[in-house]
């Protein structure tokens, strides 16, 4: 899109910019299953660096991870590391972030290059309630941006009181972040706030409202797909600045920061080291059915096997190996056989015959069928296409079901699947 060399041109002399992210919920980077996916922490620097550090404020509003499992903890640490590399100024911890942070022994000034604020610190918490950065515009104007967060489950007036040392006048801009699922947002006194960032209502951050005095109410984004941007335009002679909101999609053509690309590899390594795929919760397979692997079908279904071998399902696990995600339980499930069952794939070493989207992924465990030499039908559990070809992981699938179905054809006569309409072949062959 735009090159970084000309980037300073995107921020005129009388302008500063606030960049904000939040509600990443563990999306460090898009899975890469389909083209056109937005996001990736490794693409953020290219956007932030369009504005010089002295004229920008980079913040994260919190909720970095989805839950509190082992993988979430790894992600939390990786996010904290990433905020440092990306030169964030300040991050706001939500209630659940604070719990995780204290479990992990994270405290402010613990070697991070950014500050941490929270509305939810206990009395002895080391995290501050608010943060201030001094901004110097190229036109010579100097002002402060104050930032604080409040929890929407608690009384907003009480929380806001005393947060900002100066009122919305003179030489400061006040930004308030609202977190949690409560209903505070509408009740915040906008007389003291220039910019209110409320919880997301969609993946893309959006301007909800501009007050009569020009203050903005913005809903944050989700899953790191976009970066929110608020330009503070403050010419020499005007008393108060004008605020302008925009959202920047993190498209695939935006340059990746090499340090963050490396950090993602560290993440993949950590996930592998603690053996998360072996800890994946699994259902017990009923009736002692066993997955035998695609090779066990070959002797009787040579034609089908040959056809399948030429198609992408048959190397789905190698695809993960190529990108280094073969130990990530968030990836493996759709790229192997039976990951959710005790009889299914666990690791390449233990269950090499169950790698890839093999025959039994769709036809079910083959033990009874094989032992009976085809007399007993293959059984459930059988996965339907849409269990893996979801809108997130297979963007094109929904509109092209027929094409997808035709592409996997490996049977000798054309067989219509229950949920897919396939053209009837009028041709009749007589033997
Ligand atoms: C010992 C030979 C043999 C082996 C091994 C075998 N099959 Fe079959 N299979 C048959 C026969 C015989 C039929 C029924 C005749 C037909 O329709 O072609 C059949 C039919 C099928 C069918 C259609 C009927 C149904 O059960 O839904 C599917 C699907 C199938 N096999 C899948 C598999 C898979 C998957 C494997 C490997 C796990 C496998 N087969 C292994 C012999 C075998
Ligand atoms: C267990 C998950 C899973 C199921 C179930 C599944 N797929 Fe896939 N499919 C994948 C994965 C993973 C890939 C990508 C493999 C690769 O490229 O490494 C893929 C790739 C494909 C492709 C190749 C796409 C292309 O553009 O060439 C087609 C076509 C396809 N699947 C069709 C189907 C159909 C039709 C069904 C249902 C009958 C189905 N899939 C069921 C996981 C699944
Ligand atoms: C819900 C199931 C699902 C999950 C989870 C999943 N994938 Fe996939 N993946 C797919 C499907 C389906 C395709 C084929 C998409 C298509 O062609 O329409 C695919 C394709 C891919 C491809 C091939 C893309 C190409 O065009 O060559 C890569 C790489 C990939 N996945 C990586 C990952 C990684 C990394 C993760 C974990 C972060 C992951 N997948 C998690 C279902 C999944
Ligand atoms: C992505 C899912 C998927 C995979 C993987 C897959 N199949 Fe199929 N298979 C289907 C679908 C869908 C059909 C056609 C509709 C039907 O008959 O159920 C089919 C049809 C068949 C048939 C003909 C069924 C009949 O009733 O005559 C056989 C035999 C078969 N597959 C065997 C295999 C073997 C062997 C493999 C592995 C080498 C395999 N399939 C891999 C989905 C899959």
Over residues 150-209, the pLDDT tens digits come to 888 877 777 777 777 655 556 889 999 998 877 765 577 788 899 999 999 999 999 999
Q: What is the CB < 6 Å shell around ligand 2?
A: 312-313, 315-316, 319, 334-335, 357, 361-362, 383, 385, 387-389, 404-405, 407-408
Q: What is the pLDDT of residue 404?
A: 93
Which ligand has the minimum distance to the alpha carbon of residue 33? 3
| Contacting residues for 155 by C-beta, under 8 A, at least 6 apart | 184
Q: Is the CB of 311 under 6 A from ligand 3?
A: no
| Residue with CA nearest ligand 2 atom 41 | 385
Q: What is the pLDDT of residue 150?
A: 86
Q: How far, in Å, is the centroid of ligand 4 from the Cα of 307?
A: 10
Q: How far, in Å, is the centroid of ligand 4 from the Cα of 348?
A: 24
Which ligand has the minimum distance to the alpha carbon of residue 301? 4
- In angstroms, rounded to a whole number, what is the distance separating the alpha carbons of residues 92 and 328? 28
Which ligand has the minimum distance to the alpha carbon of residue 408? 2
Nearest CA among 201, 207, 320 for reference residue 272: 320
Q: How far, in Å, is the centroid of ligand 1 from the Cα of 298?
A: 10
Q: How far, in Å, is the centroid of ligand 2 from the Cα of 311?
A: 9
Q: How far, in Å, is the centroid of ligand 1 from the Cα of 374?
A: 5
Q: What is the pLDDT of residue 418?
A: 54
Q: Ligand 3 atom closest to Cα of 332? A: 41
Q: Ligand 3 atom closest to Cα of 395? A: 18
- In angstroms, rounded to a whole number, what is the distance separating the alpha carbons of residues 104 and 418? 50
Contact 407, 396 (CB under 8 A): no
Residues of the chain with pLDDT under 50: 1-8, 419-431
Q: What is the pLDDT of residue 185?
A: 53
Burial class (CB in 10 A: 0-12, 13-18, 19+), 236: exposed
| Residue with CA nearest ligand 3 atom 32 | 33
Q: How far, in Å, is the centroid of ligand 3 from the Cα of 29?
A: 13
| Residue with CA nearest ligand 2 atom 37 | 385
Total length of the chain: 431
Using most ligand atoms within 8 A of CB, pick from 322, 389, 399 the residue to mutate for ligand 2.
389
Nearest CA among 201, 152, 182, 26 for reference residue 100: 26
Q: How far, in Å, is the centroid of ligand 1 from the Cα of 285?
A: 20
Q: What is the CB < 6 Å shell around ligand 4?
A: 294, 297, 301, 304-305, 308, 313, 357, 359, 361-363, 408, 410-411, 415, 417
Q: How far, in Å, is the centroid of ligand 3 from the Cα of 245?
A: 34
Nearest CA among 332, 338, 335 for reference residue 382: 338
Q: How far, in Å, is the centroid of ligand 4 from the Cα of 410?
A: 7
Nearest CA among 381, 359, 244 for reference residue 292: 359
Contact 178, 198 (CB under 8 A): yes
């Amino acid at each position: 899109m735009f090159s970084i060399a000309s980037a300073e041109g995107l921020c005129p002399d009388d302008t500063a910019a606030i960049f904000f992210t939040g509600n990443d919920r563990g999306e460090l980077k898009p899975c890469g299953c389909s083209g056109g996916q937005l996001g990736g922490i490794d693409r953020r620097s290219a956007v932030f660096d369009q504005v010089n550090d002295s004229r920008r404020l980079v913040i994260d509003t919190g909720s970095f991870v989805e839950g509190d499992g082992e993988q979430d903890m790894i992600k939390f640490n990786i996010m904290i590391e990433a905020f440092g590399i990306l030169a964030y100024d300040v991050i706001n911890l939500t209630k659940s972030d604070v719990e995780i942070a204290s479990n992990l022994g994270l405290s402010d000034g613990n070697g991070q290059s950014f500050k941490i604020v929270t509305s939810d610190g206990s009395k002895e918490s080391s995290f501050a309630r608010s943060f201030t950065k001094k901004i110097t515009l190229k036109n010579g104007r100097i002002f402060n941006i104050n930032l604080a967060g409040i929890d929407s489950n608690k009384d907003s007036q009480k929380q806001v009181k005393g947060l900002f040392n100066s009122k919305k006048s003179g030489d400061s801009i006040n930004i308030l972040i609202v977190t949690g699922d409560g209903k505070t947002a509408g009740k915040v006194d906008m007389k003291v706030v220039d910019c209110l960032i409320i919880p997301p209502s969609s993946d893309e951050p959006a301007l909800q409202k501009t007050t009569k005095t020009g203050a903005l109410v913005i809903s944050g984004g989700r899953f790191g797909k976009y970066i929110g941007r608020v330009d503070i335009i403050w010419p020499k002679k005007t008393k108060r600045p004008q605020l302008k909101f925009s959202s920047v999609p993190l498209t695939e053509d935006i340059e990746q920061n090499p340090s963050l690309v490396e950090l993602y590899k560290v993440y993949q390594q950590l996930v592998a080291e603690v053996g998360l795929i072996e800890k994946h919760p699994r259902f017990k397979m009923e009736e002692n059915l066993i997955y035998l692997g695609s090779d066990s079908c070959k002797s009787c279904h040579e034609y089908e096997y040959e056809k399948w071998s030429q198609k992408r399902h048959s190397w789905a696990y190698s695809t993960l190996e190529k990108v280094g995600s073969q130990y990530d339980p968030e990836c493996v499930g759709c790229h192997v056989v039976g990951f959710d069952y005790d009889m299914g794939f666990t690791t390449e070493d233990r269950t090499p015959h169950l790698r890839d989207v093999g025959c039994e992924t769709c036809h079910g465990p083959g033990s009874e069928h094989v032992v009976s030499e085809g007399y007993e039908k293959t059984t459930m559990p059988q996965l339907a296409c849409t269990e893996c070809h979801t809108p997130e992981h297979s963007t094109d699938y929904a509109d092209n079901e027929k094409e997808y179905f035709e592409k996997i054809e490996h049977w000798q006569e054309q067989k219509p699947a229950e949920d897919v309409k396939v053209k009837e072949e009028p041709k009749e062959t007589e033997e």
